[in-house]
């Protein structure tokens, strides 16, 4: 940590940059939240702005929707449990056993995150609908009647959510497992405990705090999940808070007030959970300050390891391969069925998709926005991460809360506040891509700051302090020491932000304008308004384009990092 | 060397929230001298060093370098670390992995915008001094711990700072390397004539390298003195014990037996031992400190009057170059360090003696 | 024929521009807009309730005839679209040139609020009074979307198929029948019309079937074609034509009591960013040419109400259908809150 002189004469570059970026973050985050709260407490005539009367009535009205609240909790809980099981299992397999191809699997485990849950929902909808789902068609062809899976149930929704969030749970739990001291397990085994007993009595209890942390985090994310519930739940009249809000504000007259109240309630719950996460689990910060990383003892499971290998393959199949192949299969048919006849095949869907002006402009916008968000993002979030976790400026605890705020607000709800906030803003950015850029930078603050901070904190403080002792000013040493050391982490964050912004749905769907369409909401619009085959085609095109962009970027950055770091 | 002190630390206090890490520490370092802050972990030595460096913000006190105030709570002065003109060698070496050895060493010069021919010359000279010249172009990831330490050293003095701060620079090295590096560092420091403030918890290191030592405990100074003074004349039980294994003997004063410089103490169980006060005040209850190495064991009774006792050997612990003989002396157990000898069987009766001048009165 | 527009005499809020201008001919229709200026403006922003393909289709038609004018659109179901434009206008944003809605109720409301530009097109005489705003010049019926019942022929044998609206209330259809969400204008009309015909109890019985609700007719027919639903209570004729042509196993039933239909209304928006282009579009849409496009584009297949309109591509004329319109549009509009409450309640919202 670098101490800052209380009176170093004129305002230092450090303080300027630090407080400047904090002010930007505060405006980005708090401005929309204010409008959200204002709407939630507005009990006057919804058409008049600014509000004429304030009260708690809207929250009282929430009690008319007990089913929706119950649904939200059910689905989130089920999804969290499933995601944790997947995450824990995969983490244990990949960090603790000698399953073949460990390194490769670890890399591949992040791929489900890159595919949007929307894609998964669309694909699984095609696989698991009780009537038209491919799996059920195959089931019936095999002679049985009825259907074997119904993806449009709460557990179906939870399953699809868990498949994708499982990879996030995996990353968190694997990190915990990697920081466990293997000698603790060895002690157990030396005393004669079997491997299973060791896992249950030693490993599990040690890992539980970390798993609990992951659970809270995942649960908070699930509460705010939108895409899957929209595609799989809405057709079956199964609403959760986010999809309910979406429907309620689509009507005329829009039920703004009760939606805002729902949003604020959800926010309150998520905020409390994340507060617990920070205080109890993380010991006062949102970022793990990883100590020594141990080399965990890897169990040799001999024959059993091939079974585990299959499990890993199965997960990747279910979460990545199967959805993509399903979409491909559907996209080349006129009317998608499990056993198409020869004349059912067509390339028309691709032709139609390519010619749709909305698609090409949406794709272009998405890629451009991704680029802009990532590039501006790493500068903004890098400075914020430094400010919160490395500088000793006063007030950084408060700033950390502000930066992590968007984590506690479902994207849709946040965008709701943003819609109002930026609508009245004097500079006309409403309806333009600028608004989307601002929205993305805002909602990704927690993600970016957390990731960069994680990398930053692994850099030994003394490396920067030594530069200080050699006489380097803050700007000099940031440029020559901090940034080059951070570079691999910054690049990784750049890619993460790029992907996150291209796959973003909840905020974009509310904030798109006629000239600022982006691809993921466009796919949802397509789902609403075109045949499912065309939607599948669009989703596929989006995936391929993004994958191609990612490949190019990874190759370019690999060359870049190879040149700078020795 | 005599004259104005180079570093002056006055009543330094550093609080972490409510926890005091440094409570009112004062000392000075003369130009060209190496002063070592010595003490167990948690005693505040590193915090004090970092406060001098500017990497920690003290709560109160004053720090002056070459007469200029660089920190003063009263005068509201706190010069940022990068402007203090000091240099530091870190415990973890802090070698920058993304730069070559040359670039690491050159950093301080680049900051000062020295021309590149001059940089090359200075860097090579510095590397020569630490015998790392051949490694100039290498990537630092390939260096061993000792090599990294040398590079860190070269980097620290290449821009000719007037003060060098050392934060336990040798503690990450293995024992043999540590002893060698100690000597090298000392020689280097003498050659360059740089004032050094050194922090370590290793007693041997402090004794071997320092001009003066400040023994610290729990945020306060226990004793300041040359290695010899600290070793031979510890002021308190803590210093006595920390600086080298010492036997502590308590009892009441026997002024009737005092003569000249010599004073006497009688233990609770009636043993009488003669020692010297060395200018410390003699009260009713006294504590003597006797180094284990000064207690002599012999099988025959020595022909001396004072400070000879028959004792029983409890056990002998073989330590290679020497053995530790545990004896029963009245109601107390004492430890004598004896040079390599035939092991004495437990239960054996032997004689123990110590010169009175080796029996040191501890301060109150 | 150079006709001086009548708006100068009867309409209250009248804009000075274009009043004394004679209509000009462009392509094969008459317009009061300044075509050169419209092309200079170069842009048209269109808000529409249609699904993506439909809206894009409308824009494609206009762009084909006027390539110098770039088009961009926002599509959302009528309820959502209307709240969006009102929210924007209340915040001082006027970014929309033309708006198309699938429900007369918001159209009336928008007219009252001064949202429409008062512009009387020279194509107006081709329309009956009942298919225009009152007074003329605010909006017009660009088409009619009739809906009957549609079902999957694999799932339902012809003998068991529903023949009239009342047959929808068969408990066999529980969980297998679809309808539209409350933001849909057509759904509102159907609710109103069938309630008038069969009484309050009709929809309460219908609610017991736990229908699935969707945004667009394409979704409804998509599910129908795949068998996810057995039948739909609001099968729009245009969608039926489209899916039949793709080979889907669907059948259409025109209940003898009548088909429900909603007018699709287009109007130029006041304070438009591209006023000439918006007027040009209204004229184009009203013209034979525009109407032909609306009627024949596979994503639209609207029934035209132009007095000289040819039959729809299937050979059927709108007048061949018995259409159930609300007799009093104002009374209909006033029922909106009741409809929303009941419909949302049925869907669990």
Query: B interface mutation test: which of A11, A469, A486 has the most B CBs within 10 A?
Result: A469
- Model confidence at A14, pLDDT cuts 50, 70, 90, reads confident
Is the CB of B97 less than 8 angstroms away from the CB of A2? no
pLDDT for A291 beyond 70: no
Closest-CA residue of C relative to A524 is C52
Is the CB of A132 less than 8 angstroms away from the CB of C87? no
* Together in a domain, C14 and C131: yes
Convert chain C into a string of H (helix), E (strand) and C (coil): CCCCCCHHHHCCCCCCCCCCCCCEEECCEEECCCHHHHHHHCEEEEEECCCHHHHHHHHHHHHHHCCCCEEEEEECCHHHHHHHHHHHHHCCCCCCCEEEECCHHHHHHHHHCCCECCCCCCCHHHCCHHHECCCCCCCEEEEEEEEEEEEECCCCCHHHCCCCHHHHHCHHHCCCEEEECCCCHHHHHHHHHHHHHHCCHHHHHHHCCCCEEECCHHHHHHHHHHCCCCEEEEEEHHHHHHHHHCCCCEEEECCCCCEEEEEEEEEEECCCCCHHHHHHHHHHHHCHHHHHHHHHCCCCCCECCCCCCCCCCCCCCHHHCCEECCCCHHHHHHCHHHHHHHHHHHHCC
Q: Which residues, listed in sequence order, are joined to residue A345 by a DSSP beta bridge?
A: A333
Give the span between the Cα atoms of A500 and A518, in whole angstroms. 13
Is the CB of A514 less than 8 angstroms away from the CB of C215? no
Is residue A71 within 8 Å of residue A267, measured between CB atoms? no
Q: Which residues, listed in sequence order, are joined to residue B247 by a DSSP beta bridge?
A: B290
290-349 in chain A: CB under 8 A from chain B:
none
- CATH code of the domain made up of B245-361: 2.40.50.100
pLDDT for A271 beyond 50: yes
Closest-CA residue of C relative to A532 is C222
* Together in a domain, C139 and C30: yes
Residue A112 backbone phi and psi in degrees, to 5: -55, -30
Is the CB of A252 less than 8 angstroms away from the CB of C83? yes
Cis peptide before C135, with omega less than 30 degrees from 0? Answer: yes
Whether C220 maps to a domain, the answer reads yes
pLDDT at B119: 93
**Distance of residue C5 Cα from the nearest chain A Cα, in angstroms:** 33
Closest-CA residue of B relative to A564 is B98
- A464: closest CA among A397, A396, A389, A399? A389
- Model confidence at A286, pLDDT cuts 50, 70, 90, reads low
Please tell me which of the candidates C46, C53, C79 has its beta carbon nearest to residue A251. C79
Is the CB of B78 less than 8 angstroms away from the CB of A463? no
* Together in a domain, C245 and C334: yes
DSSP A530-551: S-HHHHHHHHHHHHHHHHHHHH
Strand order in the sheet with B60-65: B19-29, B7-16, B60-65, B68-72, B77-78
Is the CB of B111 less than 8 angstroms away from the CB of A471? yes
* Together in a domain, C187 and C284: no
Is the CB of C56 less than 8 angstroms away from the CB of A334? no
Tens of pLDDT, residues B62-96? 999 988 999 999 999 999 999 999 999 999 889 99
Query: Considering chain C, what percentage of its residues have pLDDT values greater than 90?
Result: 33
- Model confidence at A288, pLDDT cuts 50, 70, 90, reads low
Mean pLDDT is lowest, of A390-399, C46-55, C245-254, for A390-399
Is the CB of A419 less than 8 angstroms away from the CB of C87? yes
Is residue C212 within 8 Å of residue A236, measured between CB atoms? yes
- A277: closest CA among A224, A211, A216? A216
pLDDT at A561: 62
Q: Which residues of A touch C79 (CB under 8 A)?
A: 250-252, 254
Q: Which residues of A touch B80 (CB under 8 A)?
A: 4-5, 8
Q: How many helices (H) and strands (E) does chain B have?
A: 8, 21
pLDDT for A26 beyond 60: yes
Closest-CA residue of A relative to C213 is A235
174-203 in chain A: CB under 8 A from chain B:
none
Length of chain C equals 349
Counted across chains A and B, CB pairs separated by less than 8 A come out at: 90
Tens of pLDDT, residues A236-264? 888 998 888 888 877 777 778 888 888 88
pLDDT at A61: 80
**Distance of residue C83 Cα from the nearest chain A Cα, in angstroms:** 6
3-class SS of residue B272: strand
Domain span at C30: 7-144+262-315
Query: Across chain B, what does the average pLDDT equal?
Result: 90
Separation of first and last alpha carbons in chain B: 33
Is the CB of C214 less than 8 angstroms away from the CB of A356? no
Give the span between the Cα atoms of A520 and A500, in whole angstroms. 11
Do chains C and A have 3 or more beta-carbon pairs under 8 angstroms? yes
The set of chains that have 3 or more CB pairs under 8 A with C is A
**Distance of residue A4 Cα from the nearest chain B Cα, in angstroms:** 7
Tens of pLDDT, residues A309-366? 888 899 988 888 899 999 998 888 877 777 777 777 888 788 878 777 667 888 889 9
B129 phi-psi bin (left φ>0, alpha ψ -120 to 50, beta other): alpha
Q: Quick check: B155 contacting A, CB < 8 Å?
A: yes
**Residues of CATH 3.40.50.300 domain(s) within chain B?**
7-232
Please tell me which of the candidates B94, B98, B159 has its beta carbon nearest to residue A565. B98
pLDDT at C10: 36
pLDDT at A358: 67
Tens of pLDDT, residues C117-151? 999 999 888 898 888 988 888 999 999 889 999 99
- C240: closest CA among C145, C120, C310, C336? C145
Is the CB of C349 less than 8 angstroms away from the CB of A358? no
**Distance of residue C20 Cα from the nearest chain A Cα, in angstroms:** 34
Query: A interface mutation test: which of B96, B106, B143, B168 has the most A CBs within 10 A?
Result: B96
Residue C287, CB-side half-sphere exposure with 13 Å CA sphere:
20
3-class SS of residue B12: strand
Give the span between the Cα atoms of A366 and A74, in whole angstroms. 33
Is the CB of A460 less than 8 angstroms away from the CB of B83? no
344-373 in chain A: CB under 8 A from chain B:
none
Do chains C and B have 3 or more beta-carbon pairs under 8 angstroms? no
For residue C186, the domain's CATH number is 3.40.190.10
Closest-CA residue of B relative to A12 is B80
The CA-CA-CA angle for residues A160, A161, A166, to 5°, reads 105
Q: Which residues of B touch A4 (CB under 8 A)?
A: 80
Q: Which residues of A touch B156 (CB under 8 A)?
A: 469
pLDDT for A51 beyond 80: no
DSSP A431-491: TSHHHHHHHHHHHTHHHHHHHHHHHHHHS-HHHHHHHHHTT--HHHHIIIIIHHHHHHHHH
**Distance of residue A500 Cα from the nearest chain C Cα, in angstroms:** 24
pLDDT at A287: 56
Give the span between the Cα atoms of A398 and A405, in whole angstroms. 11
Is the CB of B111 less than 8 angstroms away from the CB of A460? no
Please tell me which of the candidates C90, C91, C349 has its beta carbon nearest to residue A247. C349
Mean pLDDT is lowest, of A163-172, A197-206, A318-327, C135-144, for A197-206
**Distance of residue A283 Cα from the nearest chain B Cα, in angstroms:** 17
Tens of pLDDT, residues A80-131? 999 999 998 888 888 878 888 888 888 788 788 778 888 889 999 888 888 8
Give the span between the Cα atoms of C277 and B54, in whole angstroms. 69
36-75 in chain C: CB under 8 A from chain A:
45-46, 50-54, 56, 59, 72-75
Is the CB of A4 less than 8 angstroms away from the CB of B80? yes
Please tell me which of the candidates A47, A513, A526 has its beta carbon nearest to residue C52. A526
Q: Which residues of B touch A481 (CB under 8 A)?
A: 96
Is the CB of A463 less than 8 angstroms away from the CB of B57? no
Q: Which residues of A touch B107 (CB under 8 A)?
A: 467, 470, 472, 480
Is the CB of B96 less than 8 angstroms away from the CB of A485? yes
Mean pLDDT is lowest, of A29-38, A310-319, A522-531, C169-178, for A522-531
Predicted complex ipTM: 0.85
CB atoms inside a 10 Å sphere around CB A409: 26
- CATH code of the domain made up of B7-232: 3.40.50.300
- Model confidence at A285, pLDDT cuts 50, 70, 90, reads low
Residue showing tokens 């994207």: A411
Whether C48 maps to a domain, the answer reads yes
pLDDT for C235 beyond 70: yes
Q: Quick check: B97 contacting A, CB < 8 Å?
A: yes
Give the span between the Cα atoms of A513 and B21, in whole angstroms. 59
**Range A17-38+66-288+300-564 classified under CATH 1.10.3720.10:** yes
Whether C210 maps to a domain, the answer reads yes
Q: Which residues of B touch A468 (CB under 8 A)?
A: 54-55, 81-82
Residue showing tokens 């946040």: A414
Give the span between the Cα atoms of C232 and C147, in whole angstroms. 10
Is the CB of A248 less than 8 angstroms away from the CB of C349? yes
**Alpha helix stretches (DSSP H) within A317-429:** 322-331, 348-355, 357-389, 396-408, 411-423
Is the CB of C74 less than 8 angstroms away from the CB of A514? yes
**Distance of residue C220 Cα from the nearest chain A Cα, in angstroms:** 9
Q: What is the mean pLDDT of residues A495-500?
A: 88
Most confident of A100-104, A219-223, A291-295, B22-26: B22-26
pLDDT at B53: 94
The set of chains that have 3 or more CB pairs under 8 A with A is B, C
Q: What is the mean pLDDT of residues C244-271?
A: 90
Tally of domains within chain C = 2
pLDDT at A279: 76
Q: Within its chain, how far is the Cα of B254 from the centroid?
A: 34
């Amino acid at each position: 940590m670098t101490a800052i002189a209380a009176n170093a004469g004129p305002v230092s570059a450090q303080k300027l940059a630090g407080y400047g970026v904090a002010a930007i973050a505060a405006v980005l985050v708090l401005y929309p939240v204010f409008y959200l709260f204002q709407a939630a407490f507005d009990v006057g005539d919804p058409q008049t702005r600014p509000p004429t009367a304030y009260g708690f009535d809207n929250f009282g009205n929430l009690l008319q929707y007990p089913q929706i609240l119950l649904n939200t909790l059910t689905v989130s809980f089920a999804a969290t449990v499933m995601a944790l099981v997947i995450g824990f299992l995969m983490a244990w397999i990949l960090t603790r056993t000698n399953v073949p191809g460990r390194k490769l699997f670890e890399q591949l485990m992040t791929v489900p995150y890159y595919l949007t849950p929307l894609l998964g929902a669309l694909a699984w909808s095609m696989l698991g609908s009780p009537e038209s789902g491919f799996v059920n068609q195959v089931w019936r062809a095999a002679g049985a009647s009825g259907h074997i899976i119904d993806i449009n149930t709460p557990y179906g929704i939870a399953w699809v959510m868990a498949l994708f969030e499982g990879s996030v749970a995996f990353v968190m739990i694997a990190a915990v497992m990697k920081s466990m001291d293997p000698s603790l397990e060895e002690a157990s085994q030396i005393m004669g405990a079997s491997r299973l007993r060791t896992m249950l009595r030693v490993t599990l209890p040690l890992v539980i705090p970390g798993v609990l942390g992951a659970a809270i985090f995942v649960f908070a994310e699930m509460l705010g999940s939108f895409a899957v519930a929209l595609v799989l739940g809405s057709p079956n009249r199964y609403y959760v808070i986010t999809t309910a809000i979406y429907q309620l504000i689509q009507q005329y007259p829009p039920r703004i007030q009760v939606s805002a109240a729902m949003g604020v309630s959800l926010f309150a719950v998520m905020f409390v959970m994340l507060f617990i996460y920070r205080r109890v689990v993380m010991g006062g910060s949102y970022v793990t300050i990883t100590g020594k990383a141990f080399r965990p003892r890897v169990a040799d499971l001999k024959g059993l390891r091939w079974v585990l290998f299959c499990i890993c393959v199965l997960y990747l199949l279910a979460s990545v391969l199967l959805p993509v192949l399903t979409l491909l299969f559907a996209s080349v048919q006129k009317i998608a069925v499990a056993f198409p006849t020869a004349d059912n095949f067509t390339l028309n869907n691709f032709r139609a998709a390519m010619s749709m002006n909305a698609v090409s402009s949406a794709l272009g916008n998405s890629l451009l926005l991704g680029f802009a968000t990532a590039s501006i993002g790493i500068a903004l979030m890098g400075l914020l991460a430094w400010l919160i976790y490395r500088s000793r400026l006063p007030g950084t605890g408060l700033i950390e809360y502000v930066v992590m705020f968007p984590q506690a607000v479902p994207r849709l709800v946040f965008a709701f506040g943003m819609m109002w906030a930026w609508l009245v803003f004097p500079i006309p950015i409403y309806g333009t891509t600028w608004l989307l850029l601002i929205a993305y930078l805002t909602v990704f603050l927690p993600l970016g700051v957390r990731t960069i901070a994680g990398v930053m904190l692994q850099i030994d403080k003394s490396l920067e302090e030594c530069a200080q002792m050699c006489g380097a000013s803050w700007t000099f040493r940031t440029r020559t020491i901090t940034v080059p050391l951070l570079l691999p982490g910054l690049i990784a964050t750049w890619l993460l932000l790029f992907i996150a912004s291209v796959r973003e749905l909840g905020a974009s769907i509310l904030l798109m304008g006629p000239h600022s369409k982006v691809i993921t909401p466009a796919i949802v619009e397509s789902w609403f308004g075109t045949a499912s085959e065309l939607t599948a085609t669009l989703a596929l095109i989006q995936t391929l384009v993004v994958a191609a962009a990612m490949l190019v970027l990874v190759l370019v950055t690999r060359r870049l990092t190879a040149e700078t770091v020795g | 060397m005599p004259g104005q002190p180079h570093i002056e630390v006055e009543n330094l206090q550093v609080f972490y929230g409510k926890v005091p890490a440094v409570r009112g520490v004062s000392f000075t370092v003369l130009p060209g001298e190496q002063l070592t802050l010595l003490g167990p972990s948690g005693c505040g030595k590193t915090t004090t060093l970092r406060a001098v460096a500017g990497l920690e913000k003290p709560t109160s006190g004053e720090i002056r370098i070459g007469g200029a105030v660089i920190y003063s709570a009263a005068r509201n002065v706190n010069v940022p670390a990068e402007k203090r003109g000091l240099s530091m060698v870190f415990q973890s070496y802090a070698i920058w992995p993304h730069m070559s050895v040359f670039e690491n060493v050159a950093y301080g010069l680049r900051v000062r915008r020295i021309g590149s021919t001059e940089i090359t010359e200075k860097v090579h000279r510095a590397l020569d001094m630490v015998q790392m010249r051949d490694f100039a172009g290498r990537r630092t990831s390939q260096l061993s711990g000792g090599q990294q330490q040398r590079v860190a050293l070269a980097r620290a003095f290449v821009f000719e700072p007037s003060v060098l701060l050392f934060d336990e620079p040798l503690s990450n090295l293995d024992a043999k390397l540590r002893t060698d590096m100690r000597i090298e560092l000392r020689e280097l420091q003498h050659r360059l004539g740089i004032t050094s403030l050194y922090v370590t918890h290793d007693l041997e290191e402090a004794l071997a390298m320092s001009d003066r030592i400040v023994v610290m405990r729990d945020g306060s100074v226990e004793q300041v003195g040359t290695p010899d003074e600290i070793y031979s004349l510890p002021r308190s039980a803590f210093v006595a014990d920390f600086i080298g294994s010492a036997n502590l003997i308590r009892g009441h004063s026997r002024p009737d037996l005092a003569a000249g410089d010599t004073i006497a103490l009688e233990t609770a169980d009636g043993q009488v031992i003669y020692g010297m006060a060395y200018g410390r005040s003699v009260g009713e209850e006294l504590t003597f400190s006797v180094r284990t190495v000064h207690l002599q064991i012999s099988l025959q009774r020595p022909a001396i009057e004072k400070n000879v006792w028959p004792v029983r050997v409890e056990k002998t612990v073989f330590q290679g170059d020497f053995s530790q003989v545990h004896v029963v002396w009245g109601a107390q157990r004492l430890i004598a360090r004896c040079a390599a000898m035939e092991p004495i069987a437990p239960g054996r009766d032997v004689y123990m003696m110590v010169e009175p001048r080796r029996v040191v009165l501890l301060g109150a | 024929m150079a006709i001086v527009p009548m708006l100068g005499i009867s309409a209250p809020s009248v804009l000075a521009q274009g009043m004394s201008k004679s209509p000009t001919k462009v392509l094969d229709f008459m317009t009061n807009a300044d075509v050169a200026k419209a092309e200079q403006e170069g842009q048209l922003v269109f808000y529409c309730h249609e699904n993506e393909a439909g809206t894009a289709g409308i824009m494609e038609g206009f762009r084909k005839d006027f390539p110098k004018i770039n088009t961009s659109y926002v599509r959302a179901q009528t309820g959502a679209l209307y709240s969006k434009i009102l929210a924007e206008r209340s915040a001082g944003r006027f970014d929309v040139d033309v708006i198309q809605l699938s429900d007369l109720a918001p159209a009336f409301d928008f007219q009252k609020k001064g949202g429409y530009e008062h512009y009387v097109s020279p194509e107006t005489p081709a329309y009956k009074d009942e298919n225009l705003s009152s007074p003329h010049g605010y909006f017009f019926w660009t088409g009619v979307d009739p809906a009957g019942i549609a079902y999957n022929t694999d799932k339902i044998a012809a003998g068991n198929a529903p023949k009239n609206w009342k047959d929808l209330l068969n408990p066999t259809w529980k969980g297998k029948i679809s309808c539209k969400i409350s933001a849909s204008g057509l759904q509102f009309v159907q609710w109103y019309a069938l309630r008038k015909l069969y009484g309050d109890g009709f929809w309460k019985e219908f609610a017991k079937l736990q229908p699935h609700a969707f945004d667009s007719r394409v979704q409804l027919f998509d599910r129908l074609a795949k068998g996810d639903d057995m039948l739909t209570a609001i099968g729009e004729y245009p969608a039926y034509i489209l899916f039949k042509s793709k080979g889907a196993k669907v059948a259409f039933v025109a209940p003898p009591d009548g088909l429900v239909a909603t007018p699709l209304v287009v109007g130029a928006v006041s304070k438009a960013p591209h006023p000439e282009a918006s007027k040009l579009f209204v004229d184009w849409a009203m013209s034979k040419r525009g109407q032909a496009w609306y009627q024949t584009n596979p994503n639209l297949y609207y029934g035209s109400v132009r007095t000289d309109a040819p039959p729809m591509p299937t050979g059927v004329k709108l007048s061949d259908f018995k259409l159930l319109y609300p007799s009093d549009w104002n009374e209909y509009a006033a029922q909106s809150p009741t409809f929303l409450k009941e419909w949302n309640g049925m869907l669990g919202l």
